[in-house]
Amino acid sequence: MKSAISSLISSRNFNLHRSSLSFSIFRRPSLLLPSQFPVISTDDKATGANFTSLRRKCRFHSNKSSPIMASSFNPEQARSPPAVPLPIPPVTKFKIGLCQLTVTPDKQRNIEHARKAIEEAVEKGAQLVVLPEIWNGPYSNDSFPVYAEDIEAGGDASPSTAMLSEVSRRLKVTIVGGSIAERSGDKLYNACCIFGTDGKLKAKHRKIHLFDIDIPGKITFIESKTLTAGQTPTVVDTEVGRIGIGICYDIRFQELAMIYAARGAHLICYPGAFNMTTGPLHWELLQRARAADNQLYVATCSPARDVGAGYVAWGHSTLVGPFGEVLATTEHDEAIIIAEIDYSLIELRRTNLPLLKQKRGDLYQLVDVERLKSE
Amino acid sequence: MKSAISSLISSRNFNLHRSSLSFSIFRRPSLLLPSQFPVISTDDKATGANFTSLRRKCRFHSNKSSPIMASSFNPEQARSPPAVPLPIPPVTKFKIGLCQLTVTPDKQRNIEHARKAIEEAVEKGAQLVVLPEIWNGPYSNDSFPVYAEDIEAGGDASPSTAMLSEVSRRLKVTIVGGSIAERSGDKLYNACCIFGTDGKLKAKHRKIHLFDIDIPGKITFIESKTLTAGQTPTVVDTEVGRIGIGICYDIRFQELAMIYAARGAHLICYPGAFNMTTGPLHWELLQRARAADNQLYVATCSPARDVGAGYVAWGHSTLVGPFGEVLATTEHDEAIIIAEIDYSLIELRRTNLPLLKQKRGDLYQLVDVERLKSE
């Protein structure tokens, strides 16, 4: 362990937006897992079902980890590739702002409203601001094509992200920009844009798991009628730590959060608009479970509730700590939550309950297909 | 699909106790997944780190499933081997009894007390009775060797399981016998015995994840000081459905519940004695998360609280439905919970939220090492 204390490793973001490929340097205090941080080529993305090369790579890793992990249960093999060490974030303590916004059919109003909310959150000390899922127009299959923007083209083709870029640069704030409908060629996505303090798009997450559910008499929604699912998990290194991104229904798939934890995320942000049926049943439960199971922070941001809307959001934007504890939350009205994140609690909880060292790699293994392919 | 409606498949329990190897026949109404229920040889257990043969077997399965699963996202590949179809249980609706018992240092009293509780639960209609973790003596590293029994030897060498066998046969009830300390050679285990209505030991689960935690000033316990961890997950076919077994700390490892779901479990039983720190924080959260994420029933059974004991249990034995909903629970005093289980709700919830068909096998895959080895 001692030689690793002062070692420096270079890491690259997974799924970095190509216009903002960046390198981050982290100092690593102790080695939980194998010593080489895997370098992922962004050219080597999982795009389809080419499992031939994967088959060659799929293996149970040799037990080459540091003595601290020595165990016949091979805990490091519970993730394939093995989990990366938790990076030291650029900042340990900071404030997050969750903007639970009312959303109207007036896109220009929504954009101005979001701009003001971000400004207010920053005024109150937020270094990271999170917006709701689909904040620039109504959440409906009819509206997605109407409000969709060409994010890659930018500028006038995407006034919503142009605003996010402008504010993040001007106020030097990191923004997890909720989500908007994205038009790309003849396809539509539910996309979350992450902007750095320089105003640049650092990453874009396209919702991986589309919201297709049918609870008769309660809630039926088939997002796949209009939207296409994203092809890759998204973890991005920001000025406020390594953040994994999921959008709403993505939170139901525990595997995604497990992958993010194994990639070294400090925080997972889920912009999401749960509804009046699944909201009370599952919204807080899923957030707390993802945080407690993976021993990291989880932040969610919902639109405020509009009972006149076609889709009525549950609200209840929340910050959860690495012990599964609700640190800050709100009801369903418009609100800006300002709450403190302290990443040192991640290490503390992982020391209290050393789940990572107790996993049974001899019995189960979660494969991160994209990382495995890129090895 | 139509040809499968009347097909019969034979299945064998995973991790069956050798004295009670049995076969179960299930009628399968629809094929969610590949048509051949994997047959696992009990001689082919995962016993060590022989990953050579595993490497050969480790692969991404071809997409040979039924049309219902056709998807470029390969949802069936999210589990390796692919999940087995949910078997039709011998009974759809039945009552479960959770006996939250006071435990004293008097073993003979504990055994008689448990016998009476089981009898009372059966009188009230329970077809399945669950007992707490470590119910025949105090929960402590000092007590484990003193109260341990040789379960394999049986008879006088194991009065606790002899009682369970006698009651289950006499009352024709299935018993998930909480857990007791088991002596096997020079090793001690925390073991749960499952008895069928014929009084035979159907399966024995040895706690896989030992309870080694350290929350200074709150709770520190190192179970591995005296106990040895079990080597295999346990799923058993009973007269009341396919049941996965975990003991207490096992519930923290979501992978185990995911494996049980993929093996076709209807219900996971976790005898467990959470404490006054982690109990209020995590006990209900973890139960609800395992149930909601895996869309199956979860039942837990704790000892009643004894504030004078060295280890003070949280209590709160609970039954959770496949939507993550608490169906029945109690406080910390001694209690027998009688509640109805309706397995048809599993199918309903999996139709409402078809998570199994929405998983992204192209992005993540959970490997069940034991099943993979046995293929």
pLDDT digits (tens, 9 = 90+) for A333-366: 999 999 999 999 999 999 999 999 999 999 999 9
Percentage of residues of chain A with pLDDT beyond 70 = 81
Check: CB of residue B335 under 8 Å from CB of residue B117: no
Contacts of B257 in chain A (CB under 8 A): none
Contacts of B222 in chain A (CB under 8 A): none
Q: How many CB atoms lie within 10 A of CB A155?
A: 10
B56 or A274, which is more confident: A274
What type of residue is A345? Answer: L
Nearest CA in chain A to B56: A59
pLDDT, tens digit, for every residue of A220-246?
Answer: 999 999 999 999 999 999 999 999 999
Nearest CA in chain B to A353: B213
Percentage of residues of chain A with pLDDT beyond 90 = 81
Q: What is the mean pLDDT of residues A93-116?
A: 98
Q: What is the mean pLDDT of residues A5-10?
A: 27
Residue B207 annotated as catalytic? yes
Check: CB of residue B311 under 8 Å from CB of residue B134: no
| Residue A65: burial class (beta carbons within 10 Å; 0-12, 13-18, 19+) | buried
Give the nearest partner residue to B323 out of A255, A281, A289, using CB atoms: A281
Cα A236 to Cα B247: distance, rounded to the nearest angstrom: 37
Contacts of A282 in chain B (CB under 8 A): 292, 324
Contacts of B62 (CB under 8 A, 6+ apart): none
Query: Token pair for residue A122?
Result: 């920053």
Check: CB of residue A129 under 8 Å from CB of residue A118: yes
**CA-closest candidate to residue A204, choices A230, A223, A224:** A230
Element (H, E) at A12: strand A8-12
Can you give the pLDDT at residue A66?
Answer: 36
Can you give the pLDDT at residue A72?
Answer: 80
Can you give the pLDDT at residue A71?
Answer: 63
Q: What is the mean pLDDT of residues A63-76?
A: 59
Can you give the pLDDT at residue B49?
Answer: 30
Contacts of A366 in chain B (CB under 8 A): 255, 364-367
Which one of B298, B350, B362, B373 would you mutate to disrupt binding with A, by most A Cβ within 10 Å of its Cβ? B362
In this prediction the pTM is 0.85
Cα A191 to Cα A203: distance, rounded to the nearest angstrom: 10
Tally A–B CB contacts below 8 A.
167
Helices within chain B (DSSP H only): 2-5, 51-57, 107-123, 143-147, 159-171, 254-262, 278, 284-294, 344-352, 355-358, 369-374
CA distance B202 to chain A (A): 22
| Strand, helix or coil for residue B145 | helix
The tally of CA atoms less than 13 A away on the side-chain side of residue A105 is 8
CA distance A156 to chain B (A): 34
CA distance B104 to chain A (A): 28
Catalytic one of B248, B269, B301, B370 = B248
CA distance A274 to chain B (A): 13
* pLDDT, tens digit only, all 375 positions of chain B: 333 322 222 233 333 333 332 323 233 333 223 323 232 222 333 323 333 334 444 443 433 333 333 468 999 999 999 999 999 999 999 999 999 999 999 999 999 999 999 999 999 999 999 999 999 999 999 999 999 999 999 999 999 999 999 999 999 999 999 999 999 999 999 999 999 999 999 999 999 999 999 999 999 999 999 999 999 999 999 999 999 999 999 999 999 999 999 999 999 999 999 999 999 999 999 999 999 999 999 999 999 999 999 999 999 999 999 999 999 999 999 999 999 999 999 999 999 999 999 999 999 999 999 999 998
Put the strands of the sheet holding B241-245 in their side by side order.
Answer: B234-238, B241-245, B267-271, B297-301, B318-320, B326-329
Can you give the pLDDT at residue A294?
Answer: 98
pLDDT at A184 over 70: yes
Q: What is the ipTM of this complex?
A: 0.84
Residue A17: alpha-carbon gap to chain centroid: 14
